[in-house]
Structure 1
Amino acid sequence: MAVLSSLRTALGSLVSNPVLFVASFLIGLVTLPQSALSLLGIPLAPTLLQLVTYFITPFLLAGLIGMAIEAQADGTAFGTLTREGKENYVPLLLGTLLRTAIQFAFGIVVFLFGIVAFVVGIGGAGAISEGGLDPGALLGSLGLVFVAFLLFAVLPYLVVMVLIQFFPVAIVAEDRDVIEAFKRSYGVVRSNVLPTVGYSIVSFGVALIAAAPVTAFTLSRTLSQIQSAGAGGTTPTGGGFGGAGAGSLSLFSPVEVVIISAMTLVLTTVLLAFQQSYAVAFFQAVRD
């Protein structure tokens, strides 16, 4: 089965070529400042850094994919990172821009559903207060909006993202341009629906499990700080949210930001190397 055989191939290439983790570490290092500044509650700077990293990441990602391809053949070296990055930077950047445009379009749909839910909720609440609507009817209306949201926004989004998920690998592995890479990804997925579903579940499941410690720590500290602020007290470090001084927008102290950032960097290093190696192995296993 391609799902399991590709998984073994990916893990084997990672074990025999640990240099892959160096490439993914660089990607994590590039994205680290924006996440750290966001946790500290510093305005504008994370957005500006995100714009910068948006144009840097495709270079590193192309290099990582190229290294993963070589690692599963006869071994790779760090020099592949710069070579593949230079050769595939432009099409991968354009592909990333196209994917972002697709995600933005779905974001508009989500926004419209939010407006509908808000209007239904406000109108229903007003009708209930006047005694003209049963609360159960309001919940039923909101339930219909939620079901429609799942059917016409969430499900189509997931389907589209699954169909185009292999375009970066197609660009690097087969030297395709942007449109050809999207078509190639669609064709591969369409011809291997069940294996792709299995692959996607494994890839997402690994990411979910790996991210659990960081997510749990961040969520617990967030809830703790909100409860402390809601009770009228201060955080353990003083000065309101995050202890960074009065008026700070952060829920975390500088020490906590360092801890979360370090955990995130380790997670990105391990997870990104695995995901790209797994994507390469699966794509090569089923593309023909």
Structure 2
Amino acid sequence: MGVLQALQRTPGALKRAPGLVIPQLIVFVLVLPQLLLQTTYPFVSMLYSLGSSLILLLGMPFIQGGMFGMANEALTTRSSLSRFVSDGKANYVQLLVAYIVLVVVNGVIGAVGVGSGIGAVVGHGSVRIVFIGLAAVAGLLYLVTVFVLQFYGQAIVISGASAIASFKRSYRIVRENLLAVGGYTLVALVIGMLVGGIYGGISLVASPEATSMIGLPPLSTPLLVVVGLLAVGIGSIVSAFMLTFSVAVYDELA
């Protein structure tokens, strides 16, 4: 019931805070050149990807903090970009610490998974079975980590928790509302897959090799830019909706 109520509250919150789309738009615009350059200038695209990844690593905690605060305010009243700036600055350090901790933890799990996968390929007999088991455990551990800690950002911005305490609070909320959080996660996955499909399609039509394989003429640069900007607009709106939805779910469950 809480997830359904959160879903019903989300469109109204977006109407009261249309500025929520702007930060997401900036993020997507930052990523768009990499998509357009990857086929014609792959080396430039790689360099751009490294630079944009560093910018996002340092800037994402500010964007997260601002959007969580703005969305939380919009659930009850109008909100503006001034709230975005103030909450982004106020919660930056804690969000950055939590983000780095998650990157390290997921990096270790990923390294174990990749190493086990390689071992499963090159190993034989019982050794291969052991590596397959380790890879499966690593994959399961990653999914569980993402699932139980998905509300850490909301806990920092909305509840004022520290980086470490936010993990505990997220875990407690998920543990006490397993069915509701499972339903919310399923909805988020479906919408994420749809958005990912859109960007996968754009990446496909941006590649001359891919278009020739399916018998389509390569798109001109102006048309590629138009298609890319359309995808940016759709992605920004959907991302703002999902972030606001996550805040509404946290508000209902917490």
1:225 corresponds to 2:192: no
Residue number in structure 1 paired with 2:102: 99
Q: Is the 8 A contact 1:31 1:53 kept in 2?
A: no
For 1:8, give the aligned amino acid: Q
Question: Which residue does 1:59 correspond to in 2?
Answer: 62
Query: Are 2:50 and 1:47 aligned?
Result: yes
TM-score for the superposition, normalised by structure 1:
0.75
Query: Are 1:34 and 1:50, in contact at CA under 8 Å, matched by a contact in 2?
Result: no
Correspondence 1:268 to 2:235: yes
Maintained 8 Å contact 2:16/2:77: no
Structure number with greater Rg is 1
Aligned counterpart, 1:166: 151
Within the candidate set 101, 113, 117, 1:114 is matched to 117
Q: Give me the whole-angstrom Cα distance separating, in 2, the residues matched to 1:203 and 1:46.
A: 26
What is the letter of the counterpart of residue 178 of structure 2? V
Structure 1 residue 8 displacement after superposition:
0.9
Once the two structures are superposed, residues 223-276 of structure 1 have per-residue CA deviations (whole angstroms, 9 ceiling, x without a partner) of x715959xxxxx967xxxxxxxxxxxxxx9755753564244224311221121
Deviation for aligned residue 1:170? 0.7
The aligned runs of 1:208-287 (5 Å cut-off) are 208-219=193-204, 222=207, 225=209, 254=221, 258-259=225-226, 261-287=228-254
C-alpha change, 1:64 and 1:216, in structure 2 (3 Å) is same
Query: Alignment partner for residue 196 of structure 1, among 165, 181, 201?
Result: 181
How much has 1:187 moved relative to structure 2?
0.8
In the superposition, relative to structure 1, how do residues 38 and 146 fare at CA in structure 2: closer, same or farther (>3 Å)? farther
Distance in 2 (alpha carbons) for counterparts of 1:149 and 1:267? 39
1:148 CA displacement: 3.4
- Equivalent position amino acid for 1:22 in 2: I
Q: Structure 1 236/35 Cα, relative in aligned 2: closer, same or farther at 3 Å? A: closer
Q: Are the aligned partners of 2:66 and 2:84 in contact in 1 as well (CA < 8 Å)? A: yes
Cα distance in 1, alignment partners of residues 151 and 50 from structure 2 = 27
Q: Is 1:187 aligned with 2:190? A: no
Q: Does 2:93 align with 1:90? A: yes
Structure 1 residues not aligned, in runs of 5+: 124-137, 230-234, 238-251
Query: 1:201 is aligned with what amino acid?
Result: L
Distance 2:49 2:63 in 1: 20
Does the Cα contact within 8 Å between 1:106 and 1:157 map onto a contact in 2? yes
- Over 3 Å counting, the alpha-carbon distance change for 1:51 and 1:260 in structure 2 is farther
Give the match for residue 153 of structure 1: 138
DSSP 3-state at the match of 1:176 = coil
Question: 1:112 Cα deviation (Å)?
Answer: 1.1
Letter in 2 for 1:271: V
Give unmatched runs, 5+ long, in structure 2.
none
* 1:92–1:171 CA contact under 8 A, matched in 2: yes
How far is the alpha carbon of 1:180 from its aligned partner?
A: 0.7
Secondary structure, aligned partner of 1:44: helix
Identical aligned residues as a percent: 28
Distance in structure 2 (CA, Å) of the matches to 1:156 and 1:26: 33
Q: Is the 8 A contact 1:6 1:282 kept in 2?
A: yes
AA aligned to 1:163 is V
Q: How many residue pairs get matched?
A: 248
SS at match of 2:91: helix
Shift of 1:18: 1.6
> What TM-score results when the alignment is normalised by the length of structure 2?
0.84
Distance in 1, matches of 2:130 and 2:190, equals 28
Q: In the superposition, relative to structure 1, how do residues 44 and 26 fare at CA in structure 2: closer, same or farther (>3 Å)?
A: closer
Q: Distance in 2 between matches of 1:34 and 1:220?
A: 14
What CA distance in whole angstroms lies between the structure 2 residues aligned with 1:225 and 1:145?
A: 40
The structure where helix makes up a greater share of residues is 2
